[in-house]
Amino acid sequence: MAGMTMQPIAHIENAYTSKFGVPRQSGLVEEVISRVVFSPEYRVPEALRGLEEFSHLWLIWGFHEAERTGWSPTVRPPRLGGNTRIGVFATRSPYRPNPLGLSSVRLTGVEKTPGKGWTLLVAGADLMNGTPIYDIKPYLPSADSHPDARGGFADRYEKRRVRVEIPEEEAGKLREEDLSALRKVLAEDPRPAYQDDPERVYAFEFAGKNIRFRVEEGTLKVLSAGRADKPPAEDGTPEAPAP
């Protein structure tokens, strides 16, 4: 079979400036609004004609920061404890033969942005800031929604949520809209399922801030929200299990 060469048509801009903290699936954190910015050659208004009639879109994108050499037929999903191996095609792992991702997002606006042409505003993206986008397709409820679908091992996974506590002093360092989004991001518990050390300090960047937190007995406590250009005192950011 002949190969295919693809070039990004756009990239995404949002508050997720590090891999750790990005929602595990699309649609989990709709409070974060992302902007799809087209590459200069694709900033053609005619290409978006009719798009505003759809409520949701599919984004096909690339895992541009997934470090890998070759590929493995099995991977270890973090939600299964990081030890159980599953076939790569039965997961959404970034460690795949072609590192492509697929996300369903809600279209909240189409607007012209100075210096960027026509851009798309979307809610619920699970893409890191700067992620290349290779294609955009409309979501069709009649064809894309399957209420009776089975979710495999993901259906057997008990979702872990936490109660979020942010000290008033640290909360005041963020804009109101960023604070609301951060609370939802943290409530999803960004830690890998196999980690539950109450003494461990985690850190990640969000909306220009270094967010440091600890989780104990179901409560996630934010320790600080310093500037992103100032390294955190202790970085407990975990890495995903290797394939």
C-beta separation of 242 from 196 below 8 A = no
pLDDT of 170 reads 96
For residue 67, which phi and psi values (nearest 5 degrees)? -80, 125
Of residues 43 and 4, more confidence is placed in: 43
* Nearest CA among 59, 60, 55, 61 for reference residue 140: 55
Question: Which residue ranges does the chain devote to CATH 3.30.2310.20?
Answer: 155-227
For domain 155-227, which CATH number applies: 3.40.50.300, 3.40.50.2300, 3.50.50.60, 3.30.2310.20? Answer: 3.30.2310.20
pLDDT of 231 reads 52
Average pLDDT, integer, range 186-198: 88
Average pLDDT across the chain, whole number: 90
d(CA 69, CA 158) in angstroms, rounded, equals 32
Question: Which residue ranges does the chain devote to CATH 2.40.30.70?
Answer: 10-64+99-144
d(CA 203, CA 24) in angstroms, rounded, equals 17
Of 57-61, 162-166, 226-230, the poorest mean pLDDT is in: 226-230
Q: Taking the mean position of all CA atoms in its chain, how far away is CA 58?
A: 14
pLDDT of 209 higher than 70:
yes
Of 15-29, 68-82, 205-219, the poorest mean pLDDT is in: 68-82
Record the tokens describing residue 158, joined without a space: 């008990």
Average pLDDT, integer, range 167-194: 92
* Nearest CA among 107, 14, 110 for reference residue 57: 107
**H or E element: which one contains 143?**
helix 141-144
pTM of the model: 0.88
From the number of C-beta atoms within 10 Å of its C-beta (0-12, 13-18, 19+), residue 168 rates as exposed
Phi-psi label, residue 217: left if phi above 0, alpha if psi -120 to 50, beta otherwise: left
pLDDT of 156 higher than 80:
no
Average pLDDT, integer, range 193-214: 92
Average pLDDT, integer, range 83-109: 93
From the number of C-beta atoms within 10 Å of its C-beta (0-12, 13-18, 19+), residue 40 rates as exposed
Radius of gyration of the chain from its Cα atoms, rounded to whole angstroms: 19
pLDDT of 240 reads 46
Q: What percent of the chain shows pLDDT beyond 90?
A: 72
Average pLDDT, integer, range 66-84: 81
Fold of the domain built from segment(s) 10-64+99-144: Elongation Factor Tu (Ef-tu); domain 3 (2.40.30)
